């Protein structure tokens, strides 16, 4: 399959060179001909041609690259979300610990007034 791909790429290059020569003879700019692709069906009249194999292989590589980029981005986003969640859990643990400590301190002989507890919890 690799040999078929290599030969398809070589054939495609040769075909492009021939097309450039024809376009120059016709008075067109070769770059314009490259930019204006035909429809997919018109590009490959025969099924399983070398050019079609090369084109589809290239598209598969592009899509695989895009999928890999999306996976990397989603993994980074998941790591960021996990980090935020962990920091929120830690802040909740600190708040709960402070509340428990205030309850413990206020349960002794010198109980804290309710207003004092609320002020301390607000801070």
Q: Per residue in 2-47, pLDDT tens?
A: 777 788 888 888 887 787 777 676 665 545 555 555 555 455 555 6
Per-residue pLDDT band at 113 (split at 50, 70, 90): low
Instruction: Quote the DSSP letter at residue 14.
Output: H
Contacts of residue 57, Cβ cutoff 8 Å, sequence gap at least 6: 5, 8
Q: Are residues 59 and 105 in the same domain?
A: yes
pLDDT tens per residue, range 60-105: 998 899 999 889 889 889 999 999 999 999 999 998 888 888 877 7
User: Which contiguous run of DSSP H or E holds residue 24?
Assistant: helix 2-26
Both 110 and 55 in one domain: the answer is yes
Q: What pLDDT was estimated at residue 117?
A: 65
- Same domain for 49 and 31: no
Please give the span between the terminal C-alpha atoms of the chain, in angstroms, as a whole number.
70
What is this structure's pTM?
0.38
Count of the separate structural domains present in the chain: 2
Cα–Cα dist 101/121, whole Å: 11
Asked whether residue 31 falls in the same domain as residue 69, the answer is no
Residue range 78-88, pLDDT digits in tens:
999 999 999 99
**85 and 116, same structural domain?**
yes
Which range marks the domain in which residue 64 is found?
45-122
Q: Is a pLDDT exceeding 70 seen at residue 48?
A: no
pLDDT > 70: percent of the chain? 66
Say if residue 77 is in the same domain as residue 32: no
* Higher pLDDT pick, 123 / 76: 76
Higher pLDDT among residues 116 and 44, named by residue: 116
Residues 50 and 27 placed together within one structural domain of the fold: no
């Amino acid at each position: 399959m690799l040999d078929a791909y290599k030969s398809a790429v070589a054939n495609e290059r040769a075909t492009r060179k021939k097309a450039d020569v024809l376009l120059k003879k016709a008075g067109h700019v070769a770059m314009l001909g490259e930019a204006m692709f035909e429809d997919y069906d018109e590009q490959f009249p025969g099924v399983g041609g070398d050019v079609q194999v090369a084109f589809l292989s290239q598209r598969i590589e592009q899509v695989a690259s895009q999928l890999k980029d999306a996976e990397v981005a989603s993994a980074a986003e998941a790591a960021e979300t996990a980090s935020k969640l962990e920091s929120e859990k830690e802040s909740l643990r600190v708040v709960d610990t402070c509340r428990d400590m205030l309850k413990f301190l206020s349960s002794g002989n010198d109980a804290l007034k309710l207003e004092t507890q609320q002020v301390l919890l607000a801070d």
